[in-house]
Structure 1
Amino acid sequence: MASDDLIDEELRRDLPEEGGKPDDRVDDERHDEENRLKPEFVRRVVAALEDGDKSEVYDLVEPLHPADVADLFELVGREDRSALAEAVSDLLSSEVISELNDYVREDMIDALPAYAVAEIAEQLETDDAVQLIEDLDPRDQAAVLAEMEPEDRAAIESALSYPEETAGRLMQREFVAVPEHITVGDLIDFLRDEASDPDALPTDFFEIFVVDPAHRPVGTCQLSWILRTPRHIGLTDVMKRDQTLIPVTADQEEVALMFQKYGLISAAVVDEAGRLVGQMTVDDVVHIISEEAGEDALLLSGAGDGDINEPILLTVRARLTWLVINLGTAMLAASVVGMFQDAIAKFALLAVLMPIVSGMGGNAGTQTLAVTVRALATNQLTSTNTWRAIGRELTIASANGVALAILIGGGTALVFGNPLLGAVIGTAMIINNLTAGMAGIAVPVTLERLRVDPAVSSAVFVTTATDVMGFFSFLGLAVLTGLA
């Protein structure tokens, strides 16, 4: 057989059959077709935990990828996580920790002694280690920090000194910075010399920061530029002097917008004196964007964190707070209806139709509110174009209101044989749509100007406005026109 034929035969032997999976996935007792852990496998792990057979648990979990180990912690019950953490403590690598859900991570960390948590934290990048430690109780936090190496402890304590969700708290303190007077060859030699020490350089980095004698960044060099430049060329001749510098006090949303606007892969973080103290990388920002998008959507609904691993008591508290507030606003809307109870008693059909006006206004207000909150979060809506945006939303509200008025007004007149009733509900629909459009943009913009998160409480005010105006306009017009 020719050598090419031998190679082809070996390749065919390694490839899966048509429509199948690679050999290491065929008849996988742990994963289903969508690469999720099978319920049967999870039940086997739980059964071993209940039997107290830690060796069996370890044997089952040890072959899993770190991401699958993290999934396993989320799939088992909360009461089993402590036992699972004890049984597989040797497998709790930095990769596993970084993949864990926040609430699940807390459950797991609570089950481990301080020295074990310290060992895990020392394996992580500084930003991930901070995320691991920041939510611990002060006593546990102090115990873990006491077990850490002085250098690692100092870095984490420095990060914890900054407010939550700021660049200072989230940044990576591992980066590569070199003086501006060296050549490309000097830089390459430096990187090769330092590569022998696993702690000397970050695990991953995309660019080199060039600093002046005061350690202030003066430029950046991408690795691709360095590899393609002759050794004798000075860094100042190839570095990019224009750069986006992130203050340590910058909020994470502001950081995410910088990365999105300028297409950054990494960026320097500087302190109040302009000195380089860390870097933000795109993988951190992707997490921030995902977190902020989900957070805003949940805040608009008053659903709390919306995490299925969140303790039930915390979820009930978060949701009930806004439900009680909504109950108060609903009573306000009901009081408006009470003002017209005599008219409703004379013409009961009003009670049938008035929810349509308020309900459609609420839907229109929610649409405008969602667009406005997103525009504020992405800096599309600023003080420069606020009035233009208000005019745009009022135009849209007018067009939608007229269209809905024609549909509901004409339908009401035909179904009930009462053109005046059709005109009243059509006019009320236009009024309430205009109210919805105005409230949907004015409320979040006002809250943002007052430095209140518009995603938290805007929905309550907008819904109240559309309910009150919907009932008042419809019932008030019915009384004014002599309909009731």
Structure 2
Amino acid sequence: MAEDMDVAHSAEASMLERFPMRDEDGEIRAEFVDQITRCIKANDTPFLRAVVAELHEADLGDLIAALEPDDRVSLVEMTGTDFDFSALNEVDDTVREEILEELEPETVAEGVRELESDDAVELLETLDEEDQEEILEKLPPSERDVLERSLEYPDNSAGRRMQTEFITVPPDWTVGQAIDYMRDAPNLPDRFYEIYAVDKAQHWQGAVPLDVLLRARRPVPLAELIDEDRRRVSVLDDLEEVARLFGKYNLVAAPVVDTENRLVGVITVDDVVDVIEEEADEEIKALGGVTSDEQLSDNVWTIAKGRFNWLLVNLATAFLASSVLGLFEGQLEKMVALAVLAPIVASQGGNAATQTMTVAVRALATRELGASNAFRVVLRESMVGLVNGIAFAVITGVAAVAWFKIPGLGVVIGLAIICNLVAGALGGILIPMVLERVRADPAVASGTFVTTITDVVGFFSFLGIATLWFGLE
């Protein structure tokens, strides 16, 4: 251990060159985590400070997640001002809350002061109001006011996620004046892509991209370069709509204005990437009946409680599907093959419906599916269900005849599969569309309803056709 420390403290190479964090697959090396843990236990503050100072915020977040809960807090406290608090936005909400609750408000406040406003708001918004207020009280009034205003905007709004650090200039300046101002200004944003022209009351006048600014001669008036039609967003715009705007128009930054058209912030592409990842995460979880706030770091009771309600709904729909089998109890007793093959029909319909539902939910989320093309898409999915239904009817029918040596059974199961795959395609597209129309989340509720439809239609069509075909009573 002592030999490791001597090597670590050598200035011949960076700390991460001597102690690589990741392996060739990009995963965190267990040896690296063990080394950090040993240094925390040994109170080796110089080593920890040197490592933390070299880590990117995302890597630091991964390291925090890999440590034991007690060691996480110790790492933050021991590294002091070298710790980048934006790394806490890279970990699960549960982990972040646990760390912030253990730290002194003064420590958190000092860390928040080093962050850009959007990162600071993201850090604070997961805390309850009492903890937020306790931390905000430790900040200077001007900084506190900015964060409080941002926290007052609705969740998932542009105002909540915007960065309040941006550059404004009068529209009557020249290019040279604007460049000189940016060279001399002490508190420029860490990164920016354009400057904004505003009047004395901070009303929006237009934007000048940096590439346009730097190509122009110094005497050129900014008024000649200002893009008055620059796409901008309102503080109340939903973040999903903002993300779609960025994707549609290839934006890297968008100014944010309030209800009186005053410039109050800017949203950059890194924020939008986070929004897209969060929305994708929520949709994937919703399709599986998992709550959006479930985290890998949650305990067993929290996860079980979050999943219970949806499993209860599934149980109720399963009883509904099973009740269809009860209607044909006599037929099932007379021909065991029906009981053996019925789940195949229901399963094929369920799988086909899931495929259609996944495409439909995604298309609704991205606004690719709407009233203008709904009929065409529904017809297309129905035809896909029919084509696949015919193909699998032949395959399953041949297999059923070969298995049970009953020629008519192949026809029965083939017709049932065609019915259920078409029903699954219709249910997979129509149910999400109906839920979207009544302002329910298609991703959350579609799965259970669609599965119920394919189970009910599958059992009923198969056993009903069998009853008619074989004349069973």
Q: TM-score if structure 1 supplies the norm length?
A: 0.89
Q: Structure 1's 275 and 441: CA in aligned 2 closer, same or farther, altered over 3 A?
A: same
Is 1:183 equivalent to 2:174 in the alignment? yes
The answer as to whether partners of 1:45 and 1:57 remain within 8 angstroms in 2 is no
Q: Matches of 1:61 and 1:468 in 2, distance apart?
A: 62
Q: How far apart are 1:338 and its partner, in Å?
A: 1.1
Candidates 418, 422, 434, aligned match of 2:422:
434
SS of the residue corresponding to residue 291 of structure 2 reads coil
Q: How far apart are 1:325 and its partner, in Å?
A: 1.3
Residue number in structure 2 paired with 1:455: 443
Residue number in structure 1 paired with 2:211: 224
CA displacement, residues 369-414 of structure 1 (integer Å, 9 cap, x when unaligned): 1101111111111222112211111111111111111211232233
Q: How far apart are 1:114 and its partner, in Å?
A: 0.7
Q: Matches of 2:326 and 2:406 in 1, distance apart?
A: 24
The answer as to whether partners of 2:427 and 2:450 remain within 8 angstroms in 1 is yes
Q: Matches of 1:58 and 1:304 in 2, distance apart?
A: 42
**Amino acid in structure 2 at the alignment position of 1:225:** V
CA displacement, residues 417-448 of structure 1 (integer Å, 9 cap, x when unaligned): 32321111111111111111111111111111
Name the stretch that deviates more: 272-281 or 34-43.
Answer: 34-43
**Amino acid in structure 2 at the alignment position of 1:224:** D
Candidates 42, 56, 73, aligned match of 1:82:
73
Residue number in structure 2 paired with 1:9: none
Query: Structure 1: where are the runs of 5+ without partners?
Result: 1-21
The answer as to whether partners of 2:353 and 2:424 remain within 8 angstroms in 1 is yes
Residue number in structure 2 paired with 1:395: 383
Q: How far apart are 1:39 and its partner, in Å?
A: 1.6
The answer as to whether partners of 2:337 and 2:404 remain within 8 angstroms in 1 is no
Is 1:287 equivalent to 2:274 in the alignment? yes
**Amino acid in structure 2 at the alignment position of 1:165:** N
Candidates 139, 162, 170, aligned match of 2:161:
170
Residue number in structure 1 paired with 2:302: 314
Q: How far apart are 1:29 and its partner, in Å?
A: 6.2
Q: Matches of 1:213 and 1:407 in 2, distance apart?
A: 75
Residue number in structure 1 paired with 2:83: 92
Name the stretch that deviates more: 111-120 or 204-213.
Answer: 204-213
Alignment of 1:33-48 (within 5 A): 33-47=24-38
Alignment of 1:238-277 (within 5 A): 238-277=225-264
Q: Structure 1's 406 and 61: CA in aligned 2 closer, same or farther, altered over 3 A?
A: farther
Q: How far apart are 1:281 and its partner, in Å?
A: 0.5
Q: How far apart are 1:141 and its partner, in Å?
A: 1.1
CA displacement, residues 16-43 of structure 1 (integer Å, 9 cap, x when unaligned): xxxxxx9876663654334544223323
Residue number in structure 2 paired with 1:15: none
Query: Structure 2: where are the runs of 5+ without partners?
Result: 1-12
**Amino acid in structure 1 at the alignment position of 2:255:** A
Residue number in structure 1 paired with 2:19: 28
SS of the residue corresponding to residue 435 of structure 2 reads helix
Residue number in structure 1 paired with 2:10: none
Candidates 355, 359, 362, aligned match of 1:371:
359
Q: How far apart are 1:213 and its partner, in Å?
A: 4.8
CA displacement, residues 199-241 of structure 1 (integer Å, 9 cap, x when unaligned): 2x21111011223455332321111111111122222212223
CA displacement, residues 282-337 of structure 1 (integer Å, 9 cap, x when unaligned): 01101111111122111101233453123333221222221111111111111111
**Amino acid in structure 1 at the alignment position of 2:358:** A
The answer as to whether partners of 1:71 and 1:100 remain within 8 angstroms in 2 is yes
Q: Structure 1's 231 and 29: CA in aligned 2 closer, same or farther, altered over 3 A?
A: closer
Q: Structure 1's 187 and 439: CA in aligned 2 closer, same or farther, altered over 3 A?
A: same
Candidates 251, 271, 290, aligned match of 1:303:
290
Alignment of 1:186-197 (within 5 A): 186-194=177-185, 197=186
Candidates 202, 205, 208, aligned match of 1:215:
202
Q: Matches of 2:178 and 2:274 in 1, distance apart?
A: 32
SS of the residue corresponding to residue 254 of structure 2 reads strand
Residue number in structure 1 paired with 2:125: 134
Report the identity percentage: 41
Q: Matches of 2:408 and 2:359 in 1, distance apart?
A: 35
Name the stretch that deviates more: 334-343 or 185-194.
Answer: 185-194
Alignment of 1:344-423 (within 5 A): 344-423=332-411
Q: How far apart are 1:165 and its partner, in Å?
A: 0.9
Q: Structure 1's 120 and 325: CA in aligned 2 closer, same or farther, altered over 3 A?
A: same
Residue number in structure 2 paired with 1:481: 469
CA displacement, residues 348-374 of structure 1 (integer Å, 9 cap, x when unaligned): 110100000100111011100110111
Residue number in structure 2 paired with 1:424: 412
Q: Matches of 2:324 and 2:311 in 1, distance apart?
A: 20
Q: How far apart are 1:98 and its partner, in Å?
A: 3.9
Q: Matches of 2:25 and 2:402 in 1, distance apart?
A: 54
The answer as to whether partners of 1:358 and 1:471 remain within 8 angstroms in 2 is yes
**Number of matched pairs:** 456
CA displacement, residues 154-173 of structure 1 (integer Å, 9 cap, x when unaligned): 11111111111110111111
Q: Matches of 2:26 and 2:410 in 1, distance apart?
A: 57
Q: Matches of 1:107 and 1:348 in 2, distance apart?
A: 57
Q: Matches of 1:350 and 1:184 in 2, distance apart?
A: 81
Q: Matches of 1:271 and 1:154 in 2, distance apart?
A: 16
Q: How far apart are 1:83 and its partner, in Å?
A: 3.6
Q: Matches of 1:404 and 1:455 in 2, distance apart?
A: 28
Name the stretch that deviates more: 411-420 or 393-402.
Answer: 411-420
The answer as to whether partners of 2:93 and 2:295 remain within 8 angstroms in 1 is no
The answer as to whether partners of 1:443 and 1:462 remain within 8 angstroms in 2 is yes
The answer as to whether partners of 2:350 and 2:424 remain within 8 angstroms in 1 is yes
Is 1:110 equivalent to 2:101 in the alignment? yes
SS of the residue corresponding to residue 210 of structure 1 reads strand
Q: Structure 1's 31 and 386: CA in aligned 2 closer, same or farther, altered over 3 A?
A: closer
CA displacement, residues 42-83 of structure 1 (integer Å, 9 cap, x when unaligned): 23444555x5x4x23663463241444322210123354334
Residue number in structure 1 paired with 2:456: 468
Residue number in structure 2 paired with 1:3: none
**Amino acid in structure 1 at the alignment position of 2:163:** Q
SS of the residue corresponding to residue 308 of structure 1 reads coil
CA displacement, residues 73-100 of structure 1 (integer Å, 9 cap, x when unaligned): 1012335433443333443224433433
Alignment of 1:142-161 (within 5 A): 142-161=133-152
